[in-house]
Amino acid sequence: MPKNANLRGAELLLNPRHNKGTAFSEAERDALGLRGLLPPRVFSLEEQEVRILEAFRGKSSPLEKYIYLSSLQDRNETLFYKVVVDHLAEMMPIIYTPTVGEACRVFSRIFRRPRGLYITARDKGRIRESLRNWPAERVSVIVVTDGERILGLGDLGAHGMGIPIGKLALYTACAGISPAECLPINIDVGTGNAELLADPLYTGLLQPRLRGAEYDELIEEFVLAVQEVFPGVLLQWEDFATDNAFGLLDRYRDRLCTFNDDIQGTAAVTLAGLYSATRVTGQSLAEQRLLFLGAGSAATGIGSLIVNAMVREGVPEAEARAKCWFVDSKGLVTASRGDLQAHKRPFAHEHPPVATFLEAVQSLRPTAILGLAAQPGAFTPEVLQAMAAQQERPIVFALSNPTSKSECTAEQAYAHTEGRGIFASGSPFDPVTVHGQTFVPGQGNNAYIFPGLGLGAVLAGATRVTDPMFHAAARTLADYLPEESLAQGSLFPPLAQIREVSARIAEAVIRVAQAEGLATTELPADLAGHVRRHMYQPRYPEYLPVA
The pLDDT of residue 547: 45
Please check whether residue 45 lies inside any domain of the structure: yes
Identify whether 167 is a catalytic site residue: yes
96, 215, 536, 543: the catalytic one is: 96
Domain-terminating residue out of 395, 427, 447: 447
Domain-terminating residue out of 447, 471, 491: 447
Q: What is the DSSP letter of 334?
A: B
Q: What is the DSSP letter of 349?
A: B
pLDDT, tens only, 184-240: 999 999 999 999 999 999 999 999 999 999 999 999 999 999 999 999 999 999 999
The pLDDT of residue 427: 85
C-beta separation of 168 from 143 below 8 A: yes
The pLDDT of residue 403: 85
Q: What share of the chain is helix, strand, coil (3-state, %, to 5)?
A: 50, 10, 40
Identify whether 82 is a catalytic site residue: no
The yes-or-no verdict on residue 1 having pLDDT over 80 is: no
The yes-or-no verdict on residue 152 having pLDDT over 90 is: no
- Number of domains present in the structure of the chain: 2
Neighbours of 207 (CB within 10 A): 15
Nearest Cα residue to 187 out of 214, 169, 152: 214
Percentage of the chain exceeding pLDDT 90: 92
Q: Which residues of 68-91 are buried (b: 16+ CB within 10 A; e: fewer)?
A: bbbebbeebbbbbbbbbbebbebb
Nearest Cα residue to 259 out of 14, 411, 470, 101: 470
Alpha helices in 434-543 (DSSP H): 450-460, 467-480, 483-487, 498-515, 527-533
Nearest Cα residue to 505 out of 458, 443, 444: 458
Which secondary-structure segment (H or E) carries 251? helix 242-252
Residue 418 domain boundaries = 264-447
Residue 277: give its domain's CATH number: 3.40.50.720
pLDDT, tens only, 369-397: 999 999 999 999 999 999 999 999 999 99
The pLDDT of residue 2: 42
The yes-or-no verdict on residue 274 having pLDDT over 90 is: yes
Please check whether residue 169 lies inside any domain of the structure: no
The pLDDT of residue 3: 42
Half-sphere exposure of 278 toward its Cβ, with a 13 Å CA cutoff? 16
Neighbours of 110 (CB within 10 A): 17
Neighbours of 318 (CB within 10 A): 9
Highest-pLDDT range among 111-115, 158-162, 481-485? 158-162
Nearest Cα residue to 92 out of 110, 66, 114, 73: 66
Please check whether residue 72 lies inside any domain of the structure: yes
Half-sphere exposure of 52 toward its Cβ, with a 13 Å CA cutoff? 31
What does pLDDT average to over the chain?
95
Please check whether residue 496 lies inside any domain of the structure: no
CA 490 to the chain's CA centroid: 19
Nearest Cα residue to 292 out of 184, 359, 214, 370: 370
Which secondary-structure segment (H or E) carries 268? helix 266-281
Which secondary-structure segment (H or E) carries 53? helix 45-57
Please check whether residue 271 lies inside any domain of the structure: yes
Please check whether residue 327 lies inside any domain of the structure: yes
Lowest mean pLDDT among 60-64, 324-328, 441-445, 537-541: 441-445
20, 65, 82, 167: the catalytic one is: 167
Domain-terminating residue out of 63, 93, 123: 93
Please check whether residue 222 lies inside any domain of the structure: no
Name the pLDDT band for 545 (thresholds 50, 70, 90).
low
Residue 61: give its domain's CATH number: 1.20.1370.30
182-188/117-120 β-pairing? parallel
Phi then psi for residue 318, to 5 deg, are -60, -40
The pLDDT of residue 338: 87
pLDDT, tens only, 73-105: 999 999 999 999 999 999 999 999 889 999 999
C-beta separation of 179 from 80 below 8 A: no
SS3 241: coil
Please check whether residue 53 lies inside any domain of the structure: yes
SS3 236: strand
pLDDT, tens only, 284-295: 999 999 999 999
